[in-house]
Structure 1
Amino acid sequence: MPKDMTQNLSVYSRRESAARSYCRAFPTEFTSAKGSVLTDAEGNDYIDFLAGCSSLNYGHNDPDMKAALIDHISGDGIAHGLDMHTDAKTAFLEAYEEHILKPRGLDYKIMMTGPTGTNAVEAAIKLARKVTGRRNVIAFTNGFHGMTLGSLALTGNSGKRGGAGGAHLGDVTHLPFDGAMGEGVDTLQFIEAMLENGSSGVDAPAAFIFEPVQGEGGLNAASDEWMQGVAKLAKKLGALLIVDDIQSGCGRTGTYFGFERAGIVPDMVTQAKSLSGFGLPFAALLIKPEHDIWKPAEHNGTFRGNTHAFVTARVAIEKFWKDKTFETELQAKTTLLTTGLQDLAALIPGATLKGRGLMQGVDVGSGDLAAAICARAFEKGLVIETSGADDEVVKILAPLTTPDETFRKGFAILLDAAREVTETNKIAAE
């Protein structure tokens, strides 16, 4: 039964911290969700082009994952097991080994970190420093790696870094990401020159860390050649290569890992967001066996290895990644997405497409314009956010399972919103 939300929402301004963010852009109370559609307390449906910021790659409440989780809970399955052996963990590890690692010829130890992506990143940089005996980590412009101090030190965005309140964010050198210095500038060549110059002031790195596609930084996509070059340089310098695949992984860029197309094998890979498949907290760090030199409990956490997430993650792997069928479907959806974004870009002078796979968007030139388009789209029934240093990119992270017809409906809303906003701006300018 639809209800008036006014009284419900007032509790948030009274009691929830000012740190809240997404609810400010989407001021309604959601009560249910299925597939690629959210429903609020007044019965309004919204097409979801955000997917929990890529935490719901397989959609809301996948029926097979939901059934498996309900069965596990109904049967008094383990709810919390620290890092003890459980049947749920056994099934997850076996599925991951069989359907993710073996088909790709990869050999990694899987470390269950605390349940958020930033904890996986913290573990990665701690281990890199432990393995190499070095402190400096090379991160990149526009990168985002988390909000705890170590991860935040790697992050480029000044707004995010400002939240540290003056805390030391050191032992990191930020160098230009692929394309960051404009067309025609080879940033890899610049990076090599800096690191091979004994007078550059850049200390020998323990690790390099990058995202294959920068999710929060504006959907900047690293080329295969750039990723290969960084991997080669890391090896040459005796540094480890860490790929942050938290937002770009689990199929988001068209393959399970965001770096697969480049043919590189990172020393470590961070995973979170859609790893559980169901939106449950779950993060992990993949480590080459020769680098797995942790002592027992040297990096731990009460909630490492969310048992309920093991259940749903195993189903997600077996349902979507046991063969190439899903990956092939993603290629077709990528074409559909790209076409829709080209239509959006055509409405805005100077707009450009960004990203890769089903992690794409349009740089509309200003944060104000992008925010206005997204706000109008929400009023029309579409949940969508912005990205970029100045929030200038309209960013699409729809569930990978979104039906084509739902994609088209979402694009129709987005295009209508963009037309209305640009027409309003045009009239105001006149």
Structure 2
Amino acid sequence: MTHIPAFAGAGNLIYRSSHVPQFVKAAGCYLQAADGRRYLDAEAANGTAAFGYDSSLLREALSHCEEMPGLPSFCESPLRLDVLSRLEPLFSQAVGQPGRVELDLGGAQGMETALRIAFSNNGPGTIVVFEGAFHGRSGITSMLSSSPRYRELLAAWGLEVVRLPTPDCDRCVHRQPDVPGCTTGCRQAVTRWGAELSGVGGTGFGRKVSAFVFESVQNVGGMAVPDADLLRSAVAHAKANGALVIADEIFTGMHRTGPRWGFQRAGVSPDIVVASKALTNGAAALSAVWAREPLADPGTYRPGSHSSTYIGIPHSLGVARAVLDRWAAWPEVEADMRVLEEAMAHRLDTLRRRHPELILGTDAFGGTARIVLNGPHAPELRRLCLTAHESLGLIVASTGMAPDVINIHPPLVITPSDLDVMIEVLEAALTALAPTVDGGQR
């Protein structure tokens, strides 16, 4: 086990590995550690650093707020209004309805704000999510997240949460090997709630479902993409029963999976959208919650329903404005994401064919990809990616909910030569892993 300084809390993810680089510099898609070793970031701080590491972004951000470095959260500013006015169309153009934007800090806080808006309209009630979901680790959002580990230390036990069967066809117990996608039975399984025998109230019942929450890609659940027909069925059923549909776009938002929002892949229209990671490129804490009219209208969602100390801080708003400028200046981003998807898919498939004893499959969608291993070897492979190559390290992700999957989501500006480096390091890590694996199947 790595040495953890006596003054440092050990509860976060930093110290889960015995190899803990201390990063001192960053440029492009690379991080540099204190010992001089360089690491290609194929995790991009779990999706936040869409534009990679560019210090000019901070200089641009400070130019927007140098006259007013701090501001109480209950005070308005032209900078905040500018950011809100630029954010709102990014959502409403995709959904096809106007709405309003509320700001918060991290993703979990944004999810809780979304629930406040849902409850202010529907009243507190049941929340429906999918198996394999991850929506945060706070007291409220840990109840929505699937892993029981998230509720061991803090949980809002009074919240009623119902989990629909997994939308991941690879892990579905009803999967038919010769039938691609979900079956009719799968689609029926996610639309059974609301009936007398289901245990979950719908229209005609006093205790209703207030919200249905989904991710268009289950990042922590193993980079699983819900079957589009299944997701559309679940959304339609929720709306028919009066539940508000909340799209968790914290990870998938702003072209991470190709289109601006992940929900566009399946052709669904949520009522509320939560975005975060790609809004500030990892340089400030900020999330945005969009709700279609009139859900966040002051007549329903009254002023004072929500407050957060730093949602008006000019530094974060300046970063958001600078990042929004970058997005607006990227003219063919969706086409570029298709090129990136194809480039990753081709390289990873070649890697799979070279290591069939370890890799069951690979997928790529937009600026995101995954490697599915033949067993729970992802944590060890992730560690080997840091150390196995003689001169370079590679940062990838794995999760406890899917220990057989390596998650890959590099900066969206990654180059073909950078992708070649990624494959080179993965090759070294897989070669080092092979002698330790007995070939057991997943």
In structure 2, the residue matched to 1:407 is 419
The 1:412/1:259 distance shift into structure 2, 3 A limit, reads same
TM-score, normalised by the number of residues in structure 1: 0.89
Amino acid corresponding to residue 135 of structure 1 in structure 2: G
Look up the SS of the partner of 1:290 in the other structure.
Answer: coil
Please state which structure has a larger fraction of its residues in helix.
1
Residues 351 and 306 of structure 1, relative CA distance in 2, 3 Å threshold = farther
Q: CA deviation at 1:76?
A: 2.6
Q: How is 1:22-421 mapped onto 2 (pairs within 5 angstroms)?
A: 22-25=14-17, 26-61=19-54, 63=56, 65-72=57-64, 75-97=66-88, 101-102=92-93, 105-113=96-104, 115-164=105-154, 168=157, 170-178=159-167, 179=169, 180-184=172-176, 185=183, 186-193=185-192, 195-203=193-201, 204-292=208-296, 293-321=300-328, 324-346=331-353, 347-349=355-357, 351-354=360-363, 356-367=365-376, 369-379=377-387, 380=389, 381-387=393-399, 389-421=401-433
What is the aligned-residue RMSD (CA, Å)?
2.4
Alignment-mate amino acid for residue 261 of structure 1 = R
CA contact (8 A) 1:366 1:392 kept: yes
Structure 2 letter corresponding to 1:170 = L
- Gap change, CA 1:268 and 1:100, over 3 Å in 2: closer
Q: Which runs of 5+ in 1 are unaligned?
A: 1-8
Offset of residue 188 of structure 1: 2.5
Amino acid at match of 1:142: G
Contact 1:366 1:390 in 2 (8 A): no
Q: 1:262 to 1:305 in 2, by over 3 A?
A: farther
Q: Is the 8 A contact 1:81 1:307 kept in 2?
A: no
Q: CA deviation at 1:88?
A: 2.1
Farther-moved stretch of structure 1 (241-250 vs 338-347): 338-347
- Give the match's secondary structure for 1:149: coil
Alpha-carbon separation, structure 2, partners of 1:425 and 1:283: 41
With over 3 angstroms needed to count, the CA separation of the structure-2 counterparts of 1:305 and 1:365, relative to structure 1, is: farther
- Superposition deviation, residue 62 in structure 1: 5.2
1:275-317 Cα deviation digits (max 9, x unpaired): 1134310011111121112111111111124432222222322
Between the aligned partners of 1:208 and 1:338, the Cα distance in structure 2 is 32
What amino acid is aligned across from residue 389 of structure 1 in structure 2? M
Q: 1:283 to 1:358 in 2, by over 3 A?
A: same
Q: CA deviation at 1:84?
A: 2.5
Query: Where does structure 2 lack aligned partners over 5 or more consecutive residues?
Result: 177-182, 202-207
Matched AA of 2:157: H
- Alignment partners' CA distance in 1, 2:309 and 2:188: 43
State the secondary structure of the residue aligned to 2:303: coil
Give the superposition deviation at 1:189: 0.9
- Aligned-partner Cα distance in 2 for 1:98–1:238: 25
How many angstroms does 1:232 deviate by?
A: 1.1
Alignment partner of 2:371: what SS?
Answer: strand
Q: How far apart, in 2, do the equivalents of 1:121 and 1:224 lie?
A: 23
**Separation (CA, whole Å) in 2 of partners of 1:129 and 1:352:** 41
In structure 2, relative to structure 1, the CA distance for the partners of 1:61 and 1:83 (3 Å cut) is farther
SS in 1 for 2:370: strand
Contact between 2:345 and 2:363, CA under 8 Å: does it hold in 1?
no
